[in-house]
A and B are shown apart, each in its own frame.
Chain A
Amino acid sequence: MRHVCGVVAVAFCLAWLAAWSHAGEAVSARSVVEMSNHASLYQGRDCRGTTTMIITDKQGRTRKRQFNMLRLDCGARDGDQKYFVYFVEPSDVRKMVFMVHKHVGAEADDDRWLYMPSLDLVKRIAASDKRTSFVGSDFLYEDISGRNPSEDFHELIPADGPFHVVRGTPRNPGAVEFAAYVAHIDKTTWLPMRIEYHKADGRPYRIIEVLEVELVAAAEQGRPVAYPTVVRSVARDLETGSRTEMVFSDIRYNSGLEDALFTERYLRRAPREVLP
């Protein structure tokens, strides 16, 4: 997942300026949204790593999810992507594979597959709602794979200090569970460090925060680069009292992943790149 590579990708929620916005604000809001979308989801041509989630409910009971993932960008800049997720824990889903061909274009649903090794079954997933929990955690599918910026109106809220503050409202309120969100975007790394989701009455009910960012060294066209990457973040559901901490580790960018890895061949027999 893209996010994987930038974990909290939650920030994708930033979108193009609304037509009614003030012209000066429009330019800066759009650029902030674009930069943030890129930083949280599109650093490097490809990315791989291990994601560990600890889900803690209101009573303090915990559940663990761990998966190795691959991400590959394809097509135009900040456009379509492919994800390959190989589950390691819990044991009843071990070796299952979830594969996504993410499409950014308007109205295009992602293509998703699930491979169940005990049946040798490749299943095509019909679910299209991206606002559902990812693997039972407090992160949503869209937090991981990215929310298309064009799905929201954005407005830049003037703020001093280290963050740009962007308020987003959905273009189609009936399709999502939030009425608005406020994202704090780091002015240096462009990573969204905190996103607060609000109900219609303005009450916050869901918060995603970045707890730790690391500079991950990589090579880009032969030159050394360092990508600021979210390695620890937390999603909290204020209504249920549940929280999920997500840690992203063993991160490698630009390791030369091939397009062929994201096909049925590797879905049925996972590539060495994702095996523990």
Chain B
Amino acid sequence: MLAAFPAGARRAVIACLALAAAMLAAGGECAAASLGDRFDPVEVHGFLEVRGGGRIREDAHAKDASVLDLRVQCEASTQTDWAQFKLKQDIWHDGILGRVEGDTREAWMFLRPTDNLDLKLGRQVLTWGTGDLVFLNDLFPKDWQSFFIGRDDEYLKAPSDSVKASLFFGRLNVDLVLTPLFASDRFITGRYISYWDGSRGALTGGDAGLDYERPDRWAADAEYALRLYRSVGAFELAAYGYFGFWKNPGGADARGTAIFPRLHVYGASVRGPLAGGIANAEFAYYDSTEDRGGRNPGINNSELRYLVGYARELCRDCTGSVQYYVEQLLGYDSYAATFNGRRRRDEFRHVLTVQVSKLLMNQNLELAVSGYWSPSDADAYLRPRIVYKWTDDIRQEIGANIFTGDHLGTMFGQYRNNSNLYMALRYSF
């Protein structure tokens, strides 16, 4: 029977069973009083959701529908005196692919073995950094596909199978994340979203999806992420390091297969109150170690990335933020000299983001809009959204993802035929 389900769903079910077995086994030991510990009763929560959306413009490379999910998410958690456990599982029927899919979003054990050490082991969602929907030093996997087709914001972050160790020394805290097998972003492959294939100089999508090769050797293709942070008064300072791979295809081999070259990232951030609001600044150096000189056109050049942002209340129950983000391509002359595609990148990519959110009707109605605009790429991405809570358990959402741009070869311009409108209804329990 399991064969009727795709591998993802099977893995998900097996992960569920494994964690349930672990909990029961531990529970059994408790019952036998061999550990003397007791598990708290397992708490179960989740939601049922139907979500549908369609393209606003015709796209020869994709279906008219952009998202068609019938989804159940279930989470179970429990704890003992010495640990916490959580399992969060999604299973949904994906109308675009025409099959049942599964994803274990969380399956972890958390331990606090000493006063200054926390350990979280297993599948988990990880986030750090100061950007709002802009990520510089957060190299944990993202799911841009889900984000662009209008799934809940939660799905922008994809899970990692990692060990996170956090050390707390008062003046300085350290987070270390080891991911034994590289987890790329869930990048655009053409399955849901058509995209610009620079090598062919054309839009592509559907079955003609991306051909790629991902690092897949356990331990040898591990990722390491590091954060050092501390507070100074109301200001939060952090330094970051990452040792792994470009999270999206960062080049192509001689056969034209997309590859994920090695990448090191070093950065820093600061966030704190300023003039009645919250200001943040972040910086990152992307060291593309396999092509430091920038002479190999098949591998991404190194980059510098900068972000400054400011958020504040605009009126009652209404907040707004602006961010200015810059990507600077290093070794630009080498890049320009060896580039042989249709549209060359600029040395600097400038992006301005704006977000405004307003709560109404006792905070049961939320009107929100996020926008990205790049004057250098002459493209933009707009995400308007309305969420209404009919009751504490029932929530309805209507939103859109609107892409526009002068050129098909830019970040948002390539998706302009994927602009979509979606609606969702969710029952939480």
Contact = CB atoms under 8 A, between A and B. Distances in A.
Interface in B53-92: 79, 84
Contact of A127 (B112, B127, B319): B319
Contacts, number: 96
B362 A55 contact: yes
A103 to B, nearest CB: 9
B199 interface: no
Given A90-B393, A94-B45, A265-B173, A119 B118 contact: no
B125 A128 contact: no
A162 to B, nearest CB: 34
Interface stretch (A1-9, A31-39, A129-137, A222-230): A129-137
Nearest to B125: A120
A23 interface: no
Interface in A80-129: 89-92, 94, 101, 109, 111, 118-122, 124-129
B153 interface: yes
A275 B426 CA distance: 26
Contacts of B426: 92
A80 to B, nearest CB: 12
Given A64-B392, A101-B234, A111-B273, A126 B125 contact: no
A186 interface: no
A265 B230 CA distance: 11
Interface in B268-282: 271, 273, 276-278, 280
B191 to A, nearest CB: 24
Given A118-B154, A119-B153, A128 B312 contact: yes
Given A90-B428, A92-B428, A129-B316, A136 B364 contact: yes
Given A90-B392, A126-B277, A269 B312 contact: no
A264 B312 CA distance: 21
A57 interface: yes
Nearest to B313: A127
Interface in A155-173: none
Chain B interface SS verdict (over half): strand
B339 interface: no
A126 B126 contact: no
B51 interface: no
B110 A269 contact: yes
Contact of A132 (B154, B236, B271, B316): B316
Contacts of A90: 392-393, 428
A63 interface: yes
Interface in B307-365: 311-313, 316-317, 319, 321, 362-364
Interface in B408-425: none
Contacts of A260: 168
B313 A129 contact: yes
A242 interface: yes
A133 B362 contact: yes
Contact of A126 (B311, B364, B392): B311
B123 interface: no
A64 B391 CA distance: 10
Given A109-B276, A118-B154, A119-B127, A92 B321 contact: no
B395 interface: yes
A91 B316 contact: no
B156 interface: yes
A119 B156 contact: yes
A272 to B, nearest CB: 8
Contact of B125 (A55, A119, A275): A119
Contacts of A129: 313, 316
Interface in B117-131: 118, 120, 124-128
A126 B118 contact: no
B140 to A, nearest CB: 8
A124 B153 CA distance: 18
Contacts of A111: 234, 273
A260 B389 CA distance: 35
Contacts of B316: 129, 131-132
Contacts of A131: 316
Contacts of A109: 273, 276
Contact of A275 (B79, B126, B393): B79
A120 B157 contact: yes
Contacts of B276: 109, 128
A260 B173 CA distance: 12
A116 to B, nearest CB: 9
Contacts of B319: 126-127
Given A111-B273, A124-B278, A126-B311, A133 B157 contact: no
B166 interface: yes
B212 interface: no
Contacts of A127: 313, 319
24 contacts: A55-B362, A64-B392, A91-B47, A92-B47, A92-B428, A118-B125, A119-B156, A120-B125, A120-B127, A122-B127, A124-B278, A126-B312, A126-B313, A126-B319, A126-B321, A131-B316, A132-B316, A136-B362, A260-B168, A265-B168, A269-B84, A269-B112, A269-B120, A275-B79
Interface of A: 55, 57, 61, 63-64, 89-92, 94, 101, 109, 111, 118-122, 124-129, 131-133, 135-137, 242, 260, 263-265, 269, 272, 275-276
A-B CB proximity, top 6 nearest = A90-B392, A136-B363, A126-B311, A91-B428, A118-B154, A120-B127
Given A124-B280, A128-B313, A264-B231, 19 more contacts: A55-B362, A64-B392, A91-B392, A91-B429, A92-B393, A119-B154, A120-B126, A124-B236, A124-B278, A125-B278, A126-B321, A127-B313, A128-B277, A129-B316, A133-B362, A137-B362, A265-B173, A269-B118, A275-B79
Interface of B: 43, 45, 47, 79, 84, 110, 112, 118, 120, 124-128, 153-154, 156-157, 166, 168, 173, 229, 231, 234, 236, 271, 273, 276-278, 280, 311-313, 316-317, 319, 321, 362-364, 389, 391-393, 395, 426, 428-429
